[in-house]
């Protein structure tokens, strides 16, 4: 097994550069229980959930401990507003994005995103996996619904892109999701594999449109969906498909930023592929980063599989170098944001933010 490559990094670190992982330090704000996992896998970043941050004090202690452990570690979160709100009081909880968008004021979405970004930066985060760019065309969709910004591509573009701008202005990396579009699914990909049977013409005129516009605006990161779109690839989900990621997202839509897979532990993937196999497939498809959000054993499995694929050449040197360049662009943006003064912790739950959300409660 080749030990070193790509700038002198050892194989363990090279594999870890593809991972953003979930951890479970027990809600204490201390890293003790998960230090072994971090040492073993050397991930690019960590994603936190409500289970990790039961209080403001625990949140600040945990993010500080992670930054002290590895100053370059990227700290990420899903923090959209509405039902996808991970952080405890006094963090401001904003209404669902669909409700805010229906106010008809794109400037409001930019203001909300800036408030979220200020609170996230004050708490030590770098990445928010938002905005949702899915078009809300199915009122019975069990997983997207009011997380979307509109029921037409134009509504999504009109409101989600100002939101993305607000995150950027606040020093937070945004991520458009879930490519190629999760808005018209009837099942939850956390539980099973959704299928979208629209033809190519429909996908190009509706689902793909917000992503194309976000790419034109410079979205730095896009998350792929665990959905089967036979018009794009009849065999494997979008997140594992080279045709979808490298062919459509990068090739036809011209995306040059970082691609991240949705959580590989979701049953849409885990029930059909092993985590290790799925991680390698996602990377071979064109993902620069894969998420493994909960189970330490599955984090280790993904890490070991990627390391083996790198060692034997199943992930080529050219692909690894290209992915590393894209990750380094994200890290450069984070460093630039962190060079500015960090908002004071008192901005979390600030009166102005509470007033902003109360107007639309």
Mean residue pLDDT of the chain comes to 95
Question: Does the active-site annotation cover 190?
Answer: yes
Q: Is the pLDDT of residue 29 over 80?
A: no
* Listed residue (331, 311, 334) closest to 323, CA to CA: 331
Residue 2 has pLDDT above 50, yes or no: no
The predicted pLDDT at position 27 comes to 75
The pLDDT of residue 6:
57
- How far apart (Å, rounded) are the C-alpha atoms in residues 231 and 310? 31
Instruction: Please report, for residues 141, 189, 358, the alpha-carbon distance to residue 192 in angstroms, rounded to integers and kept in the order given.
Output: 13, 5, 36
Q: What contacts 37, CB < 8 A, 6 or more positions away? A: 21, 23, 296, 299, 300
- Which candidate, 1, 8, 22, places its Cα nearest to that of 300? 22
pLDDT tens per residue, range 60-111: 999 999 999 999 999 999 999 999 999 999 999 999 999 999 988 999 999 9
9-358 has which CATH code? 3.20.20.300
Handedness of CA 289, 188, 97, 90 (dihedral sign): negative
Which residue among the candidates 134, 184, 233, 262 is catalytic per the annotation? 262
* Residue-range domain boundaries for the chain: 9-358
Instruction: Enumerate the H helices of the chain as residue ranges.
Output: 11-16, 35-41, 56-69, 97-101, 106-122, 153-169, 200-202, 209-217, 242, 267-270, 275-285, 296-312, 317-339, 351-358
Residue range 120-164, pLDDT digits in tens: 999 999 999 999 999 999 999 989 999 999 999 999 999 999 999
**What was the pLDDT predicted at 189?**
83
> Is the distance from CB of 148 to CB of 98 less than 8 angstroms?
yes
Express as a percent the part of the chain with pLDDT over 70.
98
Distances in whole angstroms, Cα of residue 145 to Cα of each of 67, 116, 214, 245: 35, 21, 20, 24
Catalytic residue selected from 85, 105, 188, 190: 190
Determine whether 120 is exposed, middle or buried from the number of CB atoms within 10 Å of its CB (0-12, 13-18, 19+).
buried
Of 187, 177, 257, the C-alpha closest to 225 is: 177
């Amino acid at each position: 097994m080749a030990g070193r490559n790509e700038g002198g990094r050892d194989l363990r670190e090279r594999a870890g550069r593809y991972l953003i992982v979930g951890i479970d330090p027990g809600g204490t704000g201390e890293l003790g229980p998960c230090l072994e996992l971090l040492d073993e896998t050397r991930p690019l970043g960590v994603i936190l959930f409500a289970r990790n941050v039961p209080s403001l004090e625990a949140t600040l202690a945990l993010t500080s401990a992670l930054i002290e452990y590895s100053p370059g570690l990227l700290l990420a979160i899903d923090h959209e507003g509405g039902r996808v709100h991970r952080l405890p009081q006094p963090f401001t909880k904003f209404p669902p994005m669909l409700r805010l968008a229906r106010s008809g004021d794109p400037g409001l979405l930019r203001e909300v995103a800036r408030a979220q970004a200020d609170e996230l930066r004050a708490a030590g985060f770098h990445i928010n996996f938002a905005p949702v760019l899915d078009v809300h065309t199915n009122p019975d969709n069990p997983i997207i619904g009011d997380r979307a910004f509109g029921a037409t591509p134009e509504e999504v573009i009109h409101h989600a892109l100002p939101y993305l701008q607000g995150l950027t202005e606040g020093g937070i990396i945004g991520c458009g999701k879930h490519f190629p579009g999760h808005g018209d699914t009837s099942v939850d990909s956390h539980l099973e594999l959704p299928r979208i049977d629209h033809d190519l013409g429909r996908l190009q005129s509706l689902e793909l449109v917000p992503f194309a516009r976000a790419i034109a605006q410079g979205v730095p990161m896009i998350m792929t969906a665990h959905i089967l779109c036979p018009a794009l690839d009849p065999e494997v989900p979008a997140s594992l498909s080279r045709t979808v990621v490298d062919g459509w997202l990068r090739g036809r839509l011209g995306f040059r930023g970082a691609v991240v897979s949705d959580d590989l532990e979701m049953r849409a993937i885990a029930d059909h592929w092993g985590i290790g196999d799925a991680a390698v497939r996602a990377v071979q498809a064109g993902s620069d980063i894969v998420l493994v959000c909960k189970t330490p054993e599955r984090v280790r499995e993904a890490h070991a599989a990627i390391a083996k694929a790198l060692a034997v050449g199943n992930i080529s040197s050219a692909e690894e170098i290209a992915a590393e360049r894209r990750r380094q662009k994200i890290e450069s943006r984070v460093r630039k944001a962190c060079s500015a003064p960090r908002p004071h912790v008192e901005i979390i739950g600030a009166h102005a933010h509470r007033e902003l959300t109360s107007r639309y409660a």
